Amino acid sequence: MLASKIEPFIKRYEEINSLLSDPNITTNIKRMTDLSKEQSDITPLVEKGREYIDVLKQISENKELYDDNELGDLAREELKTLEPKREELEEEIKLLFIPKDPNDNKNIYVEIRAGTGGDEAGIFVGDLFKAYCRYAELKGWKVEIMSSSENSAGGYREVIALIKGADVYSRLKYEGGAHRVQRVPDTESQGRIHTSAITVAVMPEIDDIEVDINPSDLKIDVYRSGGNGGQSVNTTDSAVRITHIPTGISVAMQDEKSQHKNKDKAMKILKARIYDAELAEQTSQNSATRKSQVGSGDRSERIRTYNYPQNRITDHRVGLTLYRLNEIMEGGLFDEIVDPSIAHFQSESVKAAGL
């Protein structure tokens, strides 16, 4: 019974209240801080839990009066309100039981790369990146391009961006995977629909203390920047490639004219990639149920199809199809495809927790 799962949290909340007023505790700053944080973490569950237990009590009392000649009608009317309230609270509490993802409040690095489909794939990299930028603007987030590599058709071989703002990771963490696009390219004279694919990786921005990298494990190469960097870029060894030898993970950066700035950016992305790889390794070692609730982490997993001729967008994980592709890609309706993904994985987490 759900109420029995709530009771220990209420008991612990009350215990913390007592501890926080204990003179032996109030002089211990670290202990006070730890207790206050623990109390803050369980407060939403305790508040909803108390409300739920009260509703259960009211339901029980009204059921006892169900056949009462004088109060039966009133009891039945109240039950019509209380039963839906009970169901609503149960769903809210189940979500509160799910352990909070420690990365949910972090900024993210988004890496979008062209896959199969040649120039058309590169063009769609740009289109999806623009959609994320519009969505970010509506959410009040900030977007900083860390690195980009253009193709000859006006698209990108790759874009890496840092998106900063409240709850960015929690909103976009399920965007990772293969995104397939179906449409008629501008260069197609016969009007044939082409299918292309790109990959998206979403990684939380990592603090230095979260990833400890031994400098001796790094191989740092500097070289002359290429591409459309201008004369001042191309005549100095400003580009940097950093390779983490134990994992083989490598990051190359050449967008900045300063070698120091390129190295700083490359290190930040390298740490995020190493952290992301560690998370993927932890996930692969857990059960299939755990994998299903967090996503496989496999960037080759096809998660979404964008069909432009039919104005259709389909999320294959959720089984959701919407015929508002153009509006969603404009950013204004992006929540319509993001929210169901979040709800799906939350539901999987609830099932995995046996609630």
* Interval 273-328: pLDDT, tens: 888 888 777 666 554 433 443 344 344 578 999 999 999 999 999 999 999 999 99
CATH topology of domain 2-97: Methane Monooxygenase Hydroxylase; Chain G, domain 1 (1.20.58)
Query: Coil, strand or helix: which one is 253?
Result: strand
Contact criterion met (CB below 8 Å) for 84 and 92? no
Of 139, 296, 292, 268, whose CA–CA distance to 205 is shortest? Answer: 268
pLDDT at 254 over 90: no
Closest CA relative to residue 83, chosen from 106, 105, 59: 59
- How many Å apart are CA 218 and CA 190, to the nearest integer? 51
Residues 149 and 158 sit within 8 Å (Cβ to Cβ)? yes
CB 198 within 8 A of CB 112: yes
Asked if CATH classification 3.90.870.20 holds for the domain at 108-209+286-352, the reply, yes or no, is no
Report the C-alpha dihedral over residues 175, 180, 186, 187, rounded to 10 degrees.
130
Q: What is the mean pLDDT of residues 249-266?
A: 85
Query: Mean pLDDT, to the nearest integer, of 84-88?
Result: 94
For residue 228, give the DSSP letter.
S
pTM (predicted TM-score) = 0.73
Which own/partner pairs from 100-103 qualify as long-range (CB within 8 Å, at least 24 positions apart)? 100/41, 101/169, 101/170, 101/173, 103/169, 103/173, 103/204
Domain borders along the chain are 2-97, 108-209+286-352, 210-282
Q: What is the pLDDT of residues 196-249, one digit of tens each?
A: 999 999 999 887 666 778 888 888 888 877 654 444 444 567 888 889 998 888
Residue 189 reports pLDDT greater than 70:
no
Q: Per CATH, which fold does 210-282 belong to?
A: Double Stranded RNA Binding Domain (3.30.160)
User: Which pLDDT score, from 0 to 100, does residue 41 have?
Assistant: 87
Residue 84 confidence (pLDDT) above 70:
yes
pLDDT for the residue 16: 93
Structure confidence at residue 187 (pLDDT): 67
Q: Considering the chain, what percentage of its residues have pLDDT values greater than 70?
A: 90
Helix, coil or strand: residue 86: helix
215 vs 353: which has the higher pLDDT: 215
Mean pLDDT value of segment 143-160: 88
Q: Whose CA is closest to 174, among 347, 328, 354, 343?
A: 343
